[in-house]
Amino acid sequence: MKIGNVSESQKNYDLIKQSLNATAKRKNVINNNISNFNTKGYKRSYVTFEDSLKESKDKLDLKITNDKHIAYKKKFGEISVKKDESDSMKMDGNNVDVDNEMTNLAANNLEYNALITTLNSTLSLKRYIINGGR
């Protein structure tokens, strides 16, 4: 199915690409948090993407009356970095929990690997089709 001049395949590729960008950014932010876990007064940062992606999808779903009426927007969700201003159990004001950050890093790595696997599978299938099944 096409929306305007853009195929579903292209939209999926753009979504995977934006998701990979989000996981790369998240990895950098988590690594920065871990490296600053002993820095006095440091407040952890985090990346928001999935909520923005869901909002974009929800807004899009509300506007659908006919596929041809929807303009394709290349951006899927906005990747943003925010500060966690919550209080800390530490006396120095630092609110980084290293165990939590390591868990987040492992989950982010799993997500990244899943996205890469999906992208590779999609590209392999396209190559197979282009080569006539050879």
How far is 129 from 134, CA to CA, in rounded Å? 8
Q: Does residue 105 sit in helix, strand or coil?
A: helix
pTM for the full predicted model: 0.77
Tokens at residue 31, please?
Answer: 């690594």
What does the pLDDT read at residue 39? 94
pLDDT one-digit tens code per residue, 3-32: 445 577 888 888 899 999 999 999 999 999
pLDDT one-digit tens code per residue, 51-96: 777 776 655 544 455 666 555 555 667 899 999 999 887 889 999 9
Q: Does residue 48 sit in helix, strand or coil?
A: strand
Yes or no: say if 30 and 106 are a contact pair by the CB < 8 Å rule: no
Residues whose CB is less than 8 angstroms from the CB of residue 26 and which lie 6 or more positions away in sequence, other chains included? 46, 47, 49, 104, 108
CA atoms lying within 13 Å on the CB side of residue 13: 9
Yes or no: say if 8 and 100 are a contact pair by the CB < 8 Å rule: no
